[in-house]
Amino acid sequence: MKILVIGGGGREHAICRALASDTSVTALFCAPGNPGIAAVAELRAVDPLDPDAVAALAVEVAADLVVVGPEAPLVAGVGDAVRAAGIPVFGPSRAAAQLEGSKAFSKDVMAAAGVPTAEAFVCTTPEEAGRALDAFGPPYVVKDDALAAGKGVVVTTDRDAALAHANACSRVVIEEFLDGPEVSLFAITDGTIVVPLQPAQDFKRVDDDDTGPNTGGMGAYSPLPWAPDDLIDEVLEHVLQPTVDELRRRGAPFVGLLYAGLALTKRGVRVIEFNARFGDPEAQVVLPLLSTPLAGLLHAAAVGTLGSIERLRWRDAAAVTVVLAAAGYPGKPRGGDPITGIEAAEALGAVVYQAGTAYRAETETLVSSGGRVLAVTALGDDLAAARMSAYRALAEIRLADAHHRTDIAARAVAGAIAVP
Q: Taking each helix axis from N to C terminus, what angle separates 241-249 and 94-101, rounded to the nearest 10 degrees?
A: 130
Q: With respect to ligand AMP, which residue has the nearer C-beta, 58 or 155?
A: 155
How many angstroms separate the CA atoms of 2 and 66, rounded?
9
For residue 356, the partner it binds in ligand AMP, ligand GLY, none, with Cβ less than 5 to 8 A by kind, is none
Q: Does residue 217 touch ligand GLY according to CB under 6 A?
A: yes
Choose one: 84-92, 273-281, 328-336, 402-410; the region binding ligand GLY (CB under 6 A): 273-281
Separation between Cα atoms, residue 126 and residue 173, nearest integer Å: 12
Can residue 261 be called a binding residue for ligand AMP (CB under 6 A)?
Answer: yes
Rule CB under 6 A: is residue 199 a binding residue for ligand GLY?
A: no
Query: Which of 37, 153, 194, 367: binder of ligand AMP (CB under 6 A)?
Result: 153
Q: Does 273 bind ligand AMP (CB under 6 A)?
A: yes
Q: How big is the site for ligand AMP, counted in residues (CB under 6 A)?
A: 16
Lateral strand order in the sheet of 219-222? 201-202, 219-222, 318-325, 372-380, 351-354
Cβ contacts of 39 within 8 Å, gap of 6 or more: none
Q: Which of residues 146-165 bind ligand GLY (CB under 6 A)?
A: 150
Task: Calculate the alpha carbon distances from 188 to 21, 92, 362 in Å.
Answer: 20, 11, 42
- The residue from 282, 297, 352, 374 that contacts ligand GLY (CB under 6 A) is 282
For ligand AMP, the closer CB: 276 or 297: 276
Cβ 380 vs Cβ 386: under 8 Å: yes
What is each CA distance from 123 to 74, 153, 175, 215, 270, in whole angstroms? Answer: 26, 14, 10, 24, 21
**Per-residue x/- marks for ligand GLY, 13-32, CB under 6 A?**
--------------------
Q: Is the dihedral of CA 306, 61, 287, 180 positive or negative?
A: negative
Shortest spacing between CB 220 and ligand GLY, in angstroms: 7
Q: Which of 64, 175, 202, 396 touches ligand GLY (CB under 6 A)?
A: 202
Contacts with ligand AMP in 182-211 (CB under 6 A)? 182, 204
Using alpha carbons, select from 295, 305, 322, 313 the residue that is nearest to residue 393: 322
- Write the DSSP string, 51-68: HHHHHHHHHHTT-SEEEE
Asked if 133 touches ligand AMP (CB under 6 A), the answer is no
DSSP structure class, residue 236: I
Question: What is the nearest approach in angstroms of ligand GLY to the Cβ of residue 402?
Answer: 19
Task: Please choose, out of 88-96, 177-185, 187-195, 366-374, the segment that lies near ligand AMP by the rule CB under 6 A.
Answer: 177-185
- Cα separation, 397 vs 324, in Å, equals 9
Query: Distance (Å, rounded) from C-alpha 37 to C-alpha 8?
Result: 8
3-state secondary structure of 138: coil
- Nearer Cβ to ligand GLY (88/370): 370
What is the C-alpha radius of gyration for the chain, rounded to an integer number of angstroms?
A: 20
Which 99-138 positions form the footprint of ligand GLY (CB under 6 A)? none
Helices (H) and strands (E) in the chain, counts: 15, 24
Binding part of the chain for ligand AMP, among 57-65, 129-137, 150-158, 296-304 by CB under 6 A, reads 150-158
280 binds ligand GLY (CB under 6 A): yes
Give the one entry of ligand AMP, ligand GLY, none that residue 242 binds, where binding means its C-beta sits below a cut-off of 5 to 8 angstroms depending on kind: none
Q: List Cα–Cα distances, 194 to 41, 131, 200, in angstroms.
A: 29, 39, 18
Shortest Å, Cβ 116 to ligand GLY? 20
Q: Are 220 and 200 in contact (CB under 8 A)?
A: yes
According to the binding rule CB under 6 A, does residue 70 interact with ligand AMP? Answer: no
Question: Of 118-126, 278-286, 392-400, 407-415, which part binds ligand GLY (CB under 6 A)?
Answer: 278-286
Residue 272 binding: pick among ligand AMP, ligand GLY, none (C-beta 5-8 Å cut-off by kind)? ligand AMP
Residues 143, 277, 372, 405: which binds ligand AMP (CB under 6 A)?
Answer: 143
Beta strands in 253-371 (DSSP E): 256-265, 268-275, 318-325, 339-340, 351-354, 357-360, 365-368
Among 7, 69, 216, 288, binds ligand GLY (CB under 6 A): 216
Stretch that binds ligand GLY, among 279-287, 307-315, 332-340, 380-388 (CB under 6 A): 279-287
Nearer to ligand GLY, 175 or 202 (CB): 202
State the residues that interact with ligand AMP by CB under 6 A.
118, 141, 143, 150, 153, 155, 175-178, 182, 204, 214, 261, 272-273
Chain residues binding ligand GLY by CB under 6 A are 150, 202, 216-217, 275, 279-280, 282
